[in-house]
Amino acid sequence: MPRTRSNHRVGTRPATMQHRLEAVLAKAVFGLLGRMKVEGASALGGWLVENIFTHTKRGRRARQQIAAVFPDLPAADVKRMERASWNMFGRSMAELPHLNAIISNPQRLLLDNAEILHAANGRANGTIYVASHMGNWELLPGIAKIAGQTFKGFYRPLSNTILEERLRAMRQTAAGNGTLLPAASRSISEVIGALRRGETVGILGDLFEGNGVETTFLGLPARSNALPATLSIRCNAQIIIATVTRLPGVRFKVTFSEVETVRTGDNALDIAATTQAVNRKLEAAITANPDQWLWSTNRWKGLDLNETSAGHPHKAQI
């Protein structure tokens, strides 16, 4: 297994027998996927995950969250959107062994507003890329690599430390000299230093964050990750939204757009307002292609979505 550049400990939980069995199965599956052509691997991964996870607790959560965001959507369309979301996730995981081949093939990767991406190379105060779980977010560290950018990216590790190391090794191969940082690691000072050297930082900004700020997300109350706004204000760094949209034939369009950081001098207000501005950009991308977002994450943890859906406080447009 290739070594990663990250020296941060991913986790300290001892491996259980279930973890070991999962790791053996994953090794066999990823070994098979890696020997297949990327189109076949992607299709197989999408089919497997779609047909397995729709019958799980996470599948029920996905349907519940879709219905809460789109209360007028017929039940059949809710189910269709959930299955499409799982298919996207399965394809993204199955494409992990092929990330380098995808990134290095210009026929598979279309960069929209690429001048925004390349502007980061000359920015003294660094750039913060914020992405969501859309299309195939695993491509983003590799895109920074081909743009010639020194990259540090946060991610949430799995509880299965054996499987986590395998997945992280595949991600690291695509990231090249980039550094992958577990989200819970004590690495904020390292990231601040990187931004002040003009480097780039990647953060997934669409997950529930218990220590985050109160915002709305897709029209519903949600705690959101304030780290992009906090780093931008502290380091005078530019926030860029990077949206990956899946196209037919294992092809992707990556769209870049800037977020204006709010700076009034009131730190708490500025962080909250900038975080909401980030959310608005992420929301626009999701509502444009809702089948391509990972609806199973517990984005509105603690919110009674049954009551929310019944009350129809919000109608997202699709």
pLDDT per residue rounded down to tens, the chain (318 residues): 333 344 454 444 567 877 778 778 888 888 899 999 999 999 999 999 999 999 999 999 999 999 999 999 999 999 999 999 999 999 999 999 999 999 999 999 999 999 999 999 989 999 999 999 999 999 999 999 889 999 998 877 767 677 777 777 888 877 777 888 877 666 788 899 999 999 999 999 999 999 999 999 999 999 999 999 999 999 999 999 999 999 999 999 999 999 999 999 999 999 999 999 999 999 999 999 999 999 999 999 999 887 765 444 455 555
- Helices 38-53 & 17-35, crossing angle to 10 degrees? 140
pTM > 0.85: yes or no: yes
* The residue to which tokens 């977002």 are assigned: 293
> How much is the pLDDT for 13?
58
pLDDT of res. 136 = 96
The reported pLDDT for the residue numbered 6 is 45
Give the torsion sign (CA, 73, 74, 77, 82).
positive
